Amino acid sequence: MNDQVTADLIFPSISASIASAVGGEIYNYAGFFAQYYEQKPESNQYNTLCEYTFTESSQQMDYSYRTLFAGALEDAKQVLKRLQTLLTASPLPY
């Protein structure tokens, strides 16, 4: 990550990553698993979810978790690292 990027510019990326993953695919998949909703019989978009026919190798939910762990979590680690560096350089008075 670029050293010139400040934490206030990284936070929107963290928020967007979490919102897109949790409010997108994870929300849809959880709704099917909890049977809150079902698709129309003529629809085919979520057939693998409705029939529970996906496997570990189908990587059905990998994108959401990659977004959370490789995106938001890594950005949050960068913010914490920058904060620790800042506090080490100039500690807060007690």
- Give pLDDT tens digits for 47-77: 777 666 666 776 767 778 888 888 899 999 9
**36 pLDDT tier (thresholds 50, 70, 90):** low
- The answer for residues whose C-beta is within 8 angstroms of residue 47's C-beta and 6 or more apart is 53
State the pTM of this model.
0.64
63: closest CA among 20, 12, 1, 33? 20
**72, exposed or middle or buried, with CB in 10 Å at 0-12, 13-18, 19+?**
buried
The span from the CA of 53 to the CA of 71, in Å, is 28
